[in-house]
Amino acid sequence: MESYAILRDLAVIILSAKFMAILAKKCKAPGVVGEILAGLIIGPLLLNIVQPGDFISKMAEIGVILIMFSAGLETNLKELKKSGPIALLIACAGVAVPLGGGLLLYLCMHGFPAPGTDGFFRGLFIGCIMTATSVGITVEALRELGFLKGRVGQTILSAAIIDDVIGIIVLTFVLGLRDPASNTLLVVGKTLLFLVISLAGGIVIYKLMKLVDARYPHTRRIPIIGLGLCFIMSYAAEKYFGIADITGAYVAGIILCNIRDAGYIDRKVSINSYMIFAPIFFVGIGLKTDLSGVDSSMLLFSVGFVLVALVSKVIGCGLMAKICRFHNLDCIKIGVGMMTRGEVALIITNKGLNMGVLDSSYFTAVILLIIVSSVSVPILLKLLYAKHPDPEVE
């Protein structure tokens, strides 16, 4: 008879999340920041109105999966192929340098644990958190400035999308390392097998869905079948390949991103996401944030974490852009544009928390990174473009 008690929690979560998101946007910060703050406020840390629990955490899991499915659906494969080669190089450097930087930071602060130990693994994980650029925040910042369609803007966009994929592959690889029963070869093998099966199965599913879509365009069955595929692939990825369920959701989105109703599916899924599930995910992070473990060394780590995450992206992406013969200031623009971190960093941290690799005090560092990067990047880009506007635009 107590099932109605969750209704109160849901109401508090979605209303406080929306309120804080609006407030955040008024302060020129992304809405996501507001939603996390809402969780900090209503959770055990402050008001203690809502406590994290099994139901909330399962709803949050669905929330992340919907976000990643949506990101997959919004992938523009053609665009990706066109601006591909250079963006791929920039993305690779933009993953490799922060990964190394994060690992090095952790090792420096913890007396260089040897490869294979838990400490080393934790360091790798910290590196993983730093890899993925937040496509959403970057795109919004560039669009507001009016430079999204220029060469630099397009390169940033493509690289940000690609580094999500690479970041997730790296994460999958690192996660696989954790399993004591598996050796590295097995992890690589399983990851490759997943990609091969996804590719082969994906082509078949894509063709089938195209047929269904041609026959029943804009009907409810299209998004429902899409969502079903997303859930199945998320489950299968985790259950049979030891790959993160969010990877499965992302791949499901990519499989469907070229059918005619991809946008239609995305709209329906997004409504489910923003009305209920995504706020639960972001608020849930705030709910789970635990500052009892934060001491001076953790604070020191957080500051170092933010600095390394920001600087390593600029160095990695900027240098690679220079090698690809971009103008000096454009190199800096690309590096700065790639600095934003968002959902994916949180998702990876959450994964680490669920696996027991990290404790919840690490959220502090990640939340700090998201706030600092998403507030500073739009401002920095504005200054850089004022100094050296993109000649092709207008």
Cβ neighbours of residue 98 closer than 8 Å, sequence gap 6 or more: 127, 130, 131, 308, 309, 312, 313, 316
Contact in structure between 330 and 381 (CB atoms under 8 Å):
no
Closest distance between its own copies and the C-beta of residue 23, in Å?
12
CA 143 and chain centroid, separation: 20
| Residues 244, 351 contacting (CB under 8 angstroms) | yes
Whether the CB-CB separation of 43 and 50 falls below 8 Å is answered with yes
The distance of Cα 35 from the centroid of its chain, to the nearest Å, equals: 16
Nearest in space to 174 (alpha carbons), one of 219, 138, 220, 126: 126
Looking at beta carbons only, is 175 or 370 nearer to its own copies? 175
Nearer to its own copies, 211 or 271 (CB): 271
Binding window for its own copies (CB under 8 A); candidates: 33-41, 99-107, 269-277, 384-392:
269-277
Closest to 191 (Cα-Cα) out of 208, 174, 210, 212: 174
Contact 319, 90 (CB under 8 A): no
Site string for its own copies, 314-353 (x = CB under 8 A): ----------------------------------------
Residues 206-225 that bind its own copies (CB under 8 A): 220-221, 223-225
5 vs 203 by CB, closer to its own copies: 5
Give the position of tokens 């269904």.
Answer: 212
- Binding region for its own copies (CB under 8 A) out of 177-185, 265-273, 305-313, 319-327: 265-273
Please pick, from the candidates 6, 23, 212, 324, the single residue that binds its own copies as defined by CB under 8 A: 6
Q: Closest CB to its own copies among 79 and 238?
A: 238
Q: Which of 245, 261, 330, 390 binds its own copies (CB under 8 A)?
A: 245
CB of residue 157 vs its own copies: minimum separation in angstroms? 24
Rule CB under 8 A: say whether 178 interacts with its own copies: no
Alpha carbon 234 to chain centroid, angstroms = 16
CB 133 within 8 A of CB 340: yes
Candidates 57-65, 148-156, 254-262, 378-386: pick the segment binding its own copies (CB under 8 A).
Answer: 57-65
Minimal distance, residue 219 CB to its own copies, in Å: 10
CB 277 → its own copies: shortest distance, Å?
9
How far apart CA 107 and CA 96 sit, in angstroms, is 16
Binder among 22, 46, 192, 323 for its own copies (CB under 8 A): 22
Residues 350, 285: contact at Cβ < 8 Å? Answer: yes
Burial class (CB in 10 A: 0-12, 13-18, 19+), 1: exposed
User: Which helix (H) or strand (E) covers residue 121, if one does?
Assistant: helix 118-131
**Cβ of residue 101: shortest distance to its own copies, in angstroms?**
29
Q: Which stretch binds its own copies (CB under 8 A): 113-121, 122-130, 149-157, 268-276?
A: 268-276
- Characterize 330-355 residue by residue with b for buried, 16 or more Cβ atoms within 10 angstroms of its Cβ, and e for exposed: bbbbbbbbbbbbbbbbbbbbbbbbee
Contacting residue, 36, 41, 50, 62, with its own copies by CB under 8 A: 62
Give me Rg for the CA atoms of the chain. Answer: 21
Residue 231 binds its own copies, judged by CB under 8 A: yes
Among 28, 239, 260, 387, binds its own copies (CB under 8 A): 239
The site for its own copies (CB under 8 A) is made up of: 1, 3-8, 10-11, 14-15, 18, 22, 54-55, 57-58, 61-62, 65, 220-221, 223-225, 227-229, 231-232, 234-235, 238-239, 245, 268-269, 271-272, 274-276, 354-355
